[in-house]
Amino acid sequence: MAFFTIHPREMEQIILNKHALVLDVRERESYREGHFRGAYCCPYEEIDGWMRHFNRNRTLLVYCEYGSTSLLAARQLSKCGYEVYTVVGGMQAIRRYNGYD
């Protein structure tokens, strides 16, 4: 499988059209401080533990704080057979796009 990079404006479309699960791969503390609505807390450091719990037929949309960690997660998940989208710029870009900053 491949992974795709997207802009925050494309998130809603991917979530709706692909029925994607949104995964926040930041540390738990960052997740608790604020996250995209409906996102699951799945820290990257624990990827080996949580990735096997998701159906490989389900599209995943991952983000981190700035986009680099979610890119690593997307690569790893795609190698395991998942269809994955990652948000360029991460939560920082999501916040800017949605007017939170």
DSSP tag of 42: -
β-bridge pairing 3-6 and 84-87 = parallel
Cα–Cα distance between 22 and 25 in angstroms, integer? 10
Q: Which amino acid is at 52?
A: R
Query: Tokens in use for 91?
Result: 């939560």
64 carries an active-site annotation: yes
What's the rounded Cα separation, in Å, for the pair 81 and 47? 14
Please identify which of the residues 41, 42, 64, 80 carries the catalytic annotation.
64
Catalytic residues: 64
